[in-house]
A = this chain, B = another copy of it.
Amino acid sequence: MKKNVLIIGAGGVAQVVAHKCAQNNDRLGDLHIASRTKAKCDAIIQSVTDKGAMKVAGSFTAHSIDAMDTAAVAALIRDTGAQIVINVGSAFVNMYVLEACIQTGAAYLDTAIHEDPAKICEIPPWYGNYEWKRRADCAAAGVTAILGVGFDPGVVNAYARLAADDYLDTIYSIDIVDINAGSHGRWFSTNFDPEINFREFTGTVYSWQNGAWQTNKMFEVGKEWDMPVVGTQKAYLTGHDEVHSLSARYPDADVRFWMGFGDHYINVFTVLNNLGLLSERPVKTAEGLEVVPLKVVKAVLPDPSSLAPDYTGKTCIGDFVRGTKDGAPAEVFIYNIADHEEAYAETGAQGISYTAGVPPVAAALLVADGTWDVKTMANVEELDPKPFLNLLNQMGLPNRIKDAKGDRALSF
Residues in A lying within 8 Å of B, measured CB to CB: 187-188, 267-268, 271-272, 274-277, 279, 283-287, 289, 291-293, 295-301
Contacts and interface: CB of A to CB of B under 8 A. Distances in A.
Contact of A272 (B271, B279, B287, B289): B271
Nearest to A303: B286
A279 B267 contact: no
A313 to B, nearest CB: 22
Given A295-B286, A299-B284, A271 B276 contact: no
A372 B201 CA distance: 59
Copies in the complex: 2
Given A267-B267, A268-B271, A295 B299 contact: no
A301 B300 CA distance: 18
Contact of A296 (B187, B267, B296): B296
Contact of A188 (B268, B275, B286): B275
A347 B283 CA distance: 30
A295 B288 CA distance: 10
Given A267-B271, A300-B279, A301-B275, A289 B291 contact: yes
A168 to B, nearest CB: 44
Contacts of A287: 295
A321 B163 CA distance: 75
Contact of A285 (B283, B285, B298): B298
A271 B295 CA distance: 17
Residue among A188, A274, A295, A300 having the largest count of chain B Cβ atoms under 10 Å: A300
Contact of A286 (B272, B279, B285, B299): B299
Contacts of A291: 285, 289, 291, 296, 299
Contacts of A272: 271, 275
A187 B274 contact: yes
Nearest to A269: B271
Given A289-B289, A291-B296, 20 more contacts: A187-B274, A187-B275, A188-B275, A268-B275, A271-B272, A275-B301, A276-B300, A277-B277, A277-B297, A277-B300, A279-B300, A284-B299, A285-B292, A285-B295, A285-B296, A286-B295, A289-B291, A289-B295, A293-B299, A293-B300
Residue among A277, A284, A286 having the largest count of chain B Cβ atoms under 10 Å: A277
Nearest to A301: B275
What 7 A-B pairs are tightest by C-beta distance, nearest first? A276-B300, A283-B299, A271-B271, A285-B295, A296-B296, A285-B299, A187-B274
Contacts of A275: 187-188, 268, 272, 297, 300-301
